[in-house]
Amino acid sequence: MKKTILIIAALMAAFVARADEGMWLLPLLKSLNADVMAAEGCRLTPEQIYSVNQSSLKDAVVIFGRGCTGEIISEEGLLVTNHHCGYSSIQALSTPEHNYLMDGWWARSRAEEIPVPGLDVTFLVSMEDVSDRANAARDQEGGEGLQKFIEELENAASASNPGCEATVESFYSGNVYYLILYKKYDDVRFVGAPPSAVGKFGGDTDNWVWPRHTGDFSMFRVYDKDGKPLKPRRSLEISLKGVRENDFTMILGYPGSTQRYQTAAELETMLASQEVSIACRTIRQDVLKKWMAADPVIRLKYADKYADSSNGWKKWQGEKLSFERIGLLDQKRREEAAFQQWVDADTLRQRKYGSALREISAAASGSTGALCTAYLLFEAPFSIELPQLALQYLRAGMEDGDPGQVLAQYKDYDAAVDKDVARVMLDYYRKHASEAMALDSLGTGYERFADIDIDQYVDYLFAESAFTSREKLEKAAADTTFALQVLDDPAVVLANVMMGKMYGVIPALIMLQYGIPASRTYTAGLLEYYGDRPLYPDANFTMRLTYGKVLPYEPKDGLKYEYYTTLEGVMEKEIPGDMEFDVPSKLKQLYQARDYGRYADKKDGRLHLCFITDNDITGGNSGSPVLDADGRLVGLAFDGSWESMSSDVLFEPELTRCICVDIRYVLFCVDKLGGAGYLLKEMKIKK
Query: Degrees (nearest 5) of the Cα angle 283, 367, 264?
Result: 90
Closest CA to 270 of 313, 314, 320, 311: 320
Phi, then psi, of 578 in degrees rounded to 5 = -70, 150
Q: What is the closest distance, in whole angstroms, from the C-beta atom of residue 210 to ligand ARG in the complex? A: 12
Question: How far is Cα 399 from Cα 555, in angstroms, rounded to an integer?
Answer: 53
Supply the angle between the helices 415-432 and 454-464 in degrees, to the nearest 10: 140
Phi, then psi, of 62 in degrees rounded to 5 = -130, 160
Active-site annotation holds for 622: yes
Active-site annotation holds for 616: no
In sequence order, what DSSP letters do the residues of 224-291 get, joined into one string?
A: -TTSSBP--S---EEE-S---TT-EEEEEE------TT--HHHHHHHHHHHHHHHHHHHHHHHHHHHH
Q: What is the closest distance, in whole angstroms, from the C-beta atom of residue 298 to ligand ARG in the complex? A: 18
Rule CB under 6 A: say whether 619 interacts with ligand ARG: yes
The backbone region for 536, taken as left when phi is positive above 0, alpha when psi lies in -120 to 50, beta otherwise, is: beta
Question: How far is Cα 342 from Cα 348, in angstroms, rounded to an integer?
Answer: 11
Q: Exposure pattern of 308-343 as b/e (b: 16+ CB <10 Å)?
A: ebbbebbbbbbbbebbeeeebbeebeeebeebbeeb
Is 105 strand, coil or helix? strand
What is the pattern of x (binds ligand ARG, CB under 6 A) and - over residues 275-294? --------------------
- Candidate list 311, 340, 441, 469; residue touching ligand ARG; CB under 6 A: 311
- Candidate list 26, 250, 280, 307; residue touching ligand ARG; CB under 6 A: 307
Cβ-based nearer residue to ligand ARG, 26 or 637: 637
Binding-site size, ligand ARG (CB under 6 A)? 11
Residue 554 and residue 560 in contact, taking contact as beta carbons nearer than 8 Å: yes
Cβ-based nearer residue to ligand ARG, 200 or 221: 200
- Candidate list 639, 643, 648, 662; residue touching ligand ARG; CB under 6 A: 639
Cβ-based nearer residue to ligand ARG, 208 or 529: 208
Closest CA to 423 of 388, 389, 453, 449: 453
Question: How far is Cα 382 from Cα 309, in angstroms, rounded to an integer?
Answer: 13
Q: What is the closest distance, in whole angstroms, from the C-beta atom of residue 193 to ligand ARG in the complex? A: 14
- Candidate list 21, 56, 65, 84; residue touching ligand ARG; CB under 6 A: 84
Rule CB under 6 A: say whether 317 interacts with ligand ARG: no
Q: What is the closest distance, in whole angstroms, from the C-beta atom of residue 639 to ligand ARG in the complex? A: 5
Task: Please state whether beta strands 633-640 and 658-662 pair in parallel, antiparallel, or not at all (unpaired).
Answer: antiparallel
| Catalytic-role residue among 129, 204, 206, 216 | 216
Q: For residue 81, what is the enclosing H or E element?
A: strand 78-81
Residue 220 and residue 81 in contact, taking contact as beta carbons nearer than 8 Å: yes
Cβ-based nearer residue to ligand ARG, 77 or 623: 623
Query: Footprint of ligand ARG on residues 193-222 (CB under 6 A)?
Result: 200, 203-204, 207-208
- Candidate list 175, 613, 622, 624; residue touching ligand ARG; CB under 6 A: 622
In sequence order, what DSSP letters do the residues of 522-539 get, joined into one string?
A: HHHHHHHH-TTS--PPPP
| Catalytic-role residue among 56, 59, 83, 84 | 84
Rule CB under 6 A: say whether 230 interacts with ligand ARG: no
Cβ-based nearer residue to ligand ARG, 388 or 622: 622
Question: How far is Cα 472 from Cα 329, in angstroms, rounded to an integer?
Answer: 52
Q: What is the closest distance, in whole angstroms, from the C-beta atom of residue 645 to ligand ARG in the complex? A: 10
Q: What is the closest distance, in whole angstroms, from the C-beta atom of residue 550 to ligand ARG in the complex? A: 20
What is the pattern of x (binds ligand ARG, CB under 6 A) and - over residues 381-420? ----------------------------------------
Cβ-based nearer residue to ligand ARG, 212 or 423: 212
| Catalytic-role residue among 322, 622, 624, 644 | 622
Question: How far is Cα 139 from Cα 557, in angstroms, rounded to an integer?
Answer: 53
Q: What is the closest distance, in whole angstroms, from the C-beta atom of residue 308 to ligand ARG in the complex? A: 8
Closest CA to 430 of 448, 408, 416, 414: 448
CA atoms within 13 A of residue 144's CA, in its CB half-sphere: 1
Cβ-based nearer residue to ligand ARG, 547 or 581: 581
Q: What is the closest distance, in whole angstroms, from the C-beta atom of residue 251 to ligand ARG in the complex? A: 13
Footprint on this chain of ligand ARG (rule: CB under 6 A): 84, 200, 203-204, 207-208, 307, 311, 619, 622, 639
Residues catalogued as catalytic:
84, 216, 622
